[in-house]
Structure 1
């Protein structure tokens, strides 16, 4: 801003500038009044110098004013520019912060979406596994139902044919007598074979029939090596006392149940003998 001293200096300069034409007019009037003769050429030069000096003073004053205004206004302009730049910077910083927050929100939203997508994918895969398990279970149950249906049909069929069910197998006692080999052939034609006894329970079950009956045990291939009709070796036996003995030096290669009143009721006999027989069909 312009100080008080500078204002006084400017006013004095301006007053001096205004006094020059006034003084010139007064001089002219005084010369005219007193009929002073026209100024000599030297006087004109003096006047020209005075006017030029006045103009220089005016220019100098204008220059001083311009310089002072420039010097005083430039800091204010820089301050305003600085403040404007600060405002722009603050606006940009606020905008950047807002963009950063929006970016973070978008990242969180994306992460939540990805997490939900992964969770849905896992649930879908789990549901697929459950559906596959259920389908496999349904198929298994369907097969079991069909198997049970076939089993029931077989039960009904064999029961109608006079078979007796015990411990997982059907048994049938013949009504006629035949040699061991013919007896086995009859069982095979019925989809079964001569009875195989593997437990005390089966042995007790076989003793309820009081007739002498062939079972599926023999040593025809190798003497003394008793083998069941399914090819397995004898492990559990129920020989009657003194058996097997090849009685009277005969080839007693086939086994029947004879001594029904004893827990151990097996007896070896010639395979050509004719007895009743018992067939077994495992379910």
Structure 2
């Protein structure tokens, strides 16, 4: 494995000074998600949108937590079934507890996680938290440019691309409007990592079929678009196209309620809205 060591650490705080320039009057996707997870790093604009979303879906905070729990299960699956010990968490957002590297280290003490995000608040907190960590790294980069992500000195220093990598895309691709562009981004990441690498994706569904679930999804989608115009929940067919070509583990691309059929109180709109899949690159 490549030794991440201190590669890129000299630039760890290069954007910290820019935090003062954050527009506090506009919500941030990273800060909003942090609110749903119970975090406190937010401004009034974030909290206002958070409350409006709660008015539509009061159970949303629980399912942000369930998404994190699912991502933890996906990481454990990759370690257990795939022997993966290095992970690339794209659009990682603000640090939360437990962080994915802490989860990975419970299963494999040699595991490494590289977090990637270009949100100013996430970058500042992530770089500060992980400055001295030898198992977790933060790359200030835009996930929509895979070539730039892999060129980033933190990423290239920490990951050994001759061995399988676990790619994490947790509730982030819905912020990109063009489905063809999302597929291109996924393909570009998968083209760089070797056979035997894995990908975990969670993404909100909108069946767009006039059903009550579609109406519920549409109301959330429209509210989010007021702050983030590129938001797009996707149909089941669109989501299937994003993971086509991967060997999906059972039960495949499904909603959270189907992934955990024995869990209590998961058969709600939010659980049906959240689609998840884990797959291996052949």
- TM (normalized to structure 2)? 0.22
Structure number with greater Rg is 1
- TM (normalized to structure 1)? 0.22
